[in-house]
A and B are shown apart, each in its own frame.
Chain A
Amino acid sequence: MMSGLVASATLPDSITFAIAAVIVVLGALGVVLYRNPVHSALMLVMTLFGIAVLFVEQDAQFLAAVQVIVYTGAVVVLFLFVIMLLGVDRKEAVFADTFKGQRLFAGVVGLCVLVEIIVLGSRNWTTGAPSVAGAMKNQGANVNVIGKSLFTTYLLPFEVTSALLVVAVIAAVVLSRRHEERPTEFEDEQRTTELMP
């Protein structure tokens, strides 16, 4: 495996991958191990940045930008908003078992998953036909290729996502609205007259 690394990759690429991989794994461990949810959210930012670096490393510049904008710019900020709003930034005993041996069981399951993926995959990591949905290399800029594919091959899924986003926005508004007593008609009239100048 080591020889494959040295043979196919240039030194700067290998170093970039190594640093980004360490950042990703440390950030992920931080998310799981930090007791304070705010710290977990900040470690999540670290992991997401590492992933963005790996995207750039693999010539996915558009996705790297979207990753930073959407994930660290929107998702994690939303997480932090909710943590602050609810005031749950107090510490939690991470390793207090809910039932006996839960930690051990989780560790064993995780190890099984990891070993299984690596053993099953290590014979031939990539199988399948190349360039089924369209070629990536030597087709022009990364954004152009993805855009062309989105608006031709994947046009219907792309349009469906807009419906999904509208549903999500409406659902968020409905769910986070406070359930008050419905005002009577009289109160309603009073409110409108109060609002009128």
Chain B
Amino acid sequence: MTVNVSWYLTLAAVLFTIGAVGMLVRRNILVMFMCIELMLNAANLTFVSFSRELNDVGGQVAVFFVLIVAAAEVVVGLAIIVSIYRRHVGATADDQHLLKG
């Protein structure tokens, strides 16, 4: 029997907070993207914890879907970042404040 579920959920809350603060503080788009991954992983950890606590397979299946969506998101997001950098604008998110269609 592993430690109480509240410890896992507290850890997930801490991880989510670090990701959210990183998202607000950092200006490099790639690092902001990594912070999104941190937040997704915090959510995954809570899903698995609840799956264990409630003896329910749904939580682990949800994590499976989150992984798929995260992979798709990374593929599209990095492609967008590459096409932004090709235009030789700056490296930070502040340089993209004048985007137009």
Contact = CB atoms under 8 A, between A and B. Distances in A.
A122 B67 contact: no
Interface in A77-116: 78-79, 82-83, 85-86, 88, 90, 92, 94-96, 98, 102-103, 105-107, 109-111, 113-114
Contacts of B72: 164-165, 167-168
Nearest to A83: B30
B3 A131 contact: no
Interface in B49-101: 49-58, 60-61, 63-65, 67-76, 78-83, 85-86, 91-92, 94
Interface residues of B, number: 73
Contact of A175 (B7, B31, B71, B82): B82
A94 B14 contact: no
Main secondary structure, interface of A, reads helix
A171 B79 CA distance: 8
Given A5-B4, A59-B52, 19 more contacts: A9-B4, A32-B18, A32-B26, A44-B38, A58-B2, A92-B26, A110-B20, A117-B17, A121-B6, A125-B6, A126-B54, A128-B54, A130-B56, A149-B61, A161-B65, A165-B71, A168-B75, A172-B75, A175-B82
- Shortest beta-carbon contacts, A-B, top 8: A133-B58, A32-B22, A106-B24, A168-B72, A110-B21, A175-B79, A28-B18, A117-B13
Interface of B: 1-11, 13-22, 24-28, 30-31, 33-35, 37-38, 41, 44-45, 48-58, 60-61, 63-65, 67-76, 78-83, 85-86, 91-92, 94
